[in-house]
Amino acid sequence: MVTQIQLPPSGSYTLSRARVHTSLTPDLAAPFDADGFALANISVADGRIVSIAPSGHQPLSDGINLAGRIVLPCFVDCHTHIDKGHIWPRKPNPDGSFPGALNATGEDRAARWSANDVSRRMDFALRCAYAHGTKALCTHIDSVPPQEEISWPVFEEMRERWRGRIELQGVCLFGIEGARDAKWFAGLARRVAAAGGVLGTVTYMVPDLEELLDRVFTTAIKHGLDLDFHADETAEISAVSLKKIAEAALRHRFEGRILVGHCCSLARQPDADVLDTLDKVARAGIAVVSLPMCNLYLQDRRRDGTTPRWRGVTLLHEMRARGIPVAVASDNTRDPFYAYGDLDMLEVYRMATRILHFDHPVGDWPKAVTTTPADIMRLHEAGILAPGGPADFVVFKGRSWTELLSRPESDRIVIREGRAIARDLPDYSELDDLMVE
């Protein structure tokens, strides 16, 4: 059994008998097994993948024998909140509910979110994500006044600091009722456009939702911006803003990318309503991201001593069957919306497999944390293993899905541009001084 892997300092080598997945190696013709795996030799030079070829029955004499270890492309995390991250020790959710999370975060933001505070917590979060094997990450940025004046400059500085390690994208975040202030909203859109960001908002079933969506779409078209929505993060059957977003996209003939997150209430609605919504979402070309860990944590949270009755996640299987691009992502980490998490996309995929049943069969579900979010973020070389592409991948100990998803794989090897990175996770004590008054 191979326990240690030493890569040559030259950065030129071949990984022999690597176990790769059919959904993530589109150019490989190999005898894939029932789980979608095949053994392959991956040759690397000058930071790129030179070739991927089927392995023979014996390891290459001049290769590094992985003995069947799984190799996946580096992860892409398309829905996070690193500006909120790691505030739990100073501002926990008092009751584990969604309103409790909103109120606690709002209070903390107003009292504590200086540029220094946001910058240090963002950097801490990115070091975690990088060590776990993420190469691209999209974060929402709370943009209610006056926070947008603080957090967007911090984000732009952080994007430059992390360039070449993590590709960062930013999305503004505010309740859609904020778009009623046309002057403020126009200014925010200009700021987002200048930063190369994405226009985002949280939709609620407010009386003027359609009018506000029209304003959001018109503004996005004016500035050439993609769109990102938080929608229907509730068990209320009457929450149908996903359908309203799709109708607005069709009404405006929107040609940019649209990503909608959560969509929890869809799983509670009558079948006829679900089919109507999914038809419109598919026609509008909308992608959907589920946040399984956060949804499981917040949705159906009860205060009467009874057990939750549903898992809180949306209908990803039905969406995928209709050709709707679907992904899963980290969402919140150690803040009032989710008390746990570390921006580890293997953990996200492991939990999604359990919560959303990404197995029996596995099919192409591995794309939900790699290729699909990369496409959503317009990152054309991320999320796959292909000749000519960057040698950015993760080597795991696990040799099958049951091995890979049963342990934390804390000894995984993260390869960036053909070389193993240092995987030292930051210590929580680094943030201790930010957690006191």
| Catalytic position from the list 107, 148, 167, 233 | 233
Report whether pLDDT(289) > 90: yes
Residue among 219, 168, 177 nearest 197 (CA): 168
Among 61-65, 82-86, 274-278, the least confident range:
61-65
- For the residues 268-287, what does the mean pLDDT come to? 98
Q: How confident is the model at residue 3 (pLDDT cuts 50, 70, 90)?
A: low
Mean pLDDT within 43-59: 92
Listed by start position, the domains of the chain span 13-74+383-420, 75-376
pLDDT at 1 over 70: no
Average pLDDT over residues 20-34: 96
Confidence (pLDDT) at 392:
99
Amino acid found at 351: M
Instruction: Provide the token pair at 432.
Output: 């201790």
- The CATH T-level fold of domain 75-376 is TIM Barrel (3.20.20)
- Whole-number pLDDT of residue 57: 74
- Using 50, 70 and 90 to split pLDDT, how confident is the model at 9? confident
Is pLDDT at 58 greater than 80 in this prediction?
no
- Is the C-alpha dihedral spanning 144, 148, 149, 150 positive or negative? positive
Give residue-wise pLDDT tens across range 231-274: 999 999 999 999 999 999 999 999 999 999 999 999 999 999 99
For 137, phi and psi rounded to 5 degrees? -150, 135
CATH tag, 13-74+383-420: 2.30.40.10
Model confidence at 62, pLDDT cuts 50, 70, 90, reads: confident
Q: Give the residue-averaged pLDDT of 24-42.
A: 96
Query: Could you confirm whether 318 is annotated as catalytic?
Result: no
Number of residues in the chain: 437
pLDDT tier at 59, thresholds 50, 70, 90: confident
Q: How confident is the model at residue 41 (pLDDT cuts 50, 70, 90)?
A: very high
- The predicted pLDDT at position 10 comes to 87
pLDDT tens per residue across span 392-413: 999 999 999 999 999 999 999 9
CA-to-CA separations, 21 to 7, 25, 211, in angstroms, rounded: 22, 6, 45
pLDDT band for position 31 (50/70/90)? very high
Of 137, 100, 401, 407, the residue nearest 289 (C-alpha): 137
Give the model confidence (pLDDT) of 145-192 as tens digits.
999 999 999 999 999 999 999 999 999 999 999 999 999 999 999 999
Average pLDDT, the chain: 97
| Burial of 104 from C-beta contacts in 10 A (0-12 / 13-18 / 19+) | buried
Domains 13-74+383-420 and 75-376 agree in fold: no
pLDDT in tens, 93-128: 999 999 999 999 999 999 999 999 999 999 999 999
The residue to which tokens 């500035």 are assigned: 223
DSSP letter string, 78-106 = EEE-TTTTT-TTTS--SSSSHHHHHHHHH
Report the pLDDT value the prediction gives residue 220, as an integer from 0 to 100: 99
pLDDT digits (tens, 9 = 90+) for 340-361: 999 999 999 999 999 999 999 9
297-325 pLDDT, tens digit each: 999 999 999 999 999 999 999 999 999 99
